[in-house]
Amino acid sequence: MLQSLQIWPLLEGYRGRPKMAVDRLVEILIRFSYLCADSPEITELDVNPLLVTPDDVIALDARIVLDQKSRQEQVPPYSHLAIRPYPVEFTREAQLKNGKQVLLRPIKPEDEPKWHKMLEACSRESLWFRFRYIFKETTHEMATRFCFIDYDRELAIVAEIEEEGERKLIGVGRLVAGPDHDDAQYAVLVADDWQNQGLGSLLTDFCLEIASAWHVDRVWAETTTHNPRMISIFKNRGFNFGDADGDKMLANKSFDSA
């Protein structure tokens, strides 16, 4: 963005003039964006002039207009923004049964290469249980659907570990809220080499916590009669099961609206 400005040559240093504190300017702009994202009561913010020197960036004058009504009302976080920021609050460390440390965090668009590798490490059976169809390979178009998401109504929690100096994904739990945010669909996938280590339970518990924080009334999931691991996980967490339609089973869990 800065490089598109006509004054960019002056910031970079021009005709013997020293380079300005561009890194500091970038930091200031990012902090301004955080301020606006975290403060829905701000309706106007004007900094004029903003002085950039070789050593620092200084606001010589500033004006902020607040909406008093917004200050008094409780509004959902980031509801005033068109695009919800990355939900860093849904990040935690956990431990598998084998003692391996795993990071649970929301998926990012830049996780696409890791997402492809995770699915490549899954058996046909695991892919069938998760997607209900078999595919020969993943594509960028497919990854776009699962890695580039709207955090306001969808959240995918990935399990990330480090092996031999490389970060990789070994599982993912996904919540997709309905249009009115009153219910959410849940699905989970664990790479074959990491099954039976409690990862499916960790992802499910974390996603149920998030669903409760979203204040949805119900979480539902689809599984099969041939998937005893998921049936056990759902039963242990109070899910109810409908009648099986062929090998397909629907499980749902209601939350206390209070």
Q: How confident is the model at residue 74 (pLDDT cuts 50, 70, 90)?
A: confident
188: part of which helix (H) or strand (E)?
Answer: strand 183-190
**Among 77-81, 185-189, 228-232, whose mean pLDDT is lowest?**
77-81
Q: Is 212 helix (H, G, I), strand (E, B) or coil?
A: helix
> Between the CA atoms of 160, 143, 203 and 209, what dihedral angle is there, to the nearest 10 degrees?
120
Cα–Cα–Cα angle for 211, 212, 215, rounded to 5 degrees: 95
CATH number, domain 92-254: 3.40.630.30
Q: Is 159 helix (H, G, I), strand (E, B) or coil?
A: strand
Average pLDDT, integer, range 31-54: 91
**Strand pairing report for 248-254 and 166-177:** unpaired
Q: Is 70 helix (H, G, I), strand (E, B) or coil?
A: helix
Distance, CA of 208 to CA of 186 (rounded, Å): 9
Task: Report whether 88 contacts 103 (CB < 8 A).
Answer: no
Phi, psi dihedral angles at 40 (to 5 degrees): -65, -15
**Strand pairing report for 183-190 and 218-224:** parallel
CB count within 10 Å of CB 238 equals 9
CB count within 10 Å of CB 215 equals 11
Q: Domain coordinates of the chain in residue numbers?
A: 2-72, 92-254
Check whether 258 has a pLDDT greater than 50: no
Phi, psi dihedral angles at 162 (to 5 degrees): -120, 125
Task: Report whether 19 contacts 7 (CB < 8 A).
Answer: no
Number of continuous H segments (helices) and E segments (strands) in the chain: 8, 12
The model's pTM: 0.77
Phi, psi dihedral angles at 161 (to 5 degrees): -130, 170
What confidence tens digit (pLDDT) does each residue in 93-137 have? 999 999 999 999 999 999 999 999 999 999 999 998 888 887 888
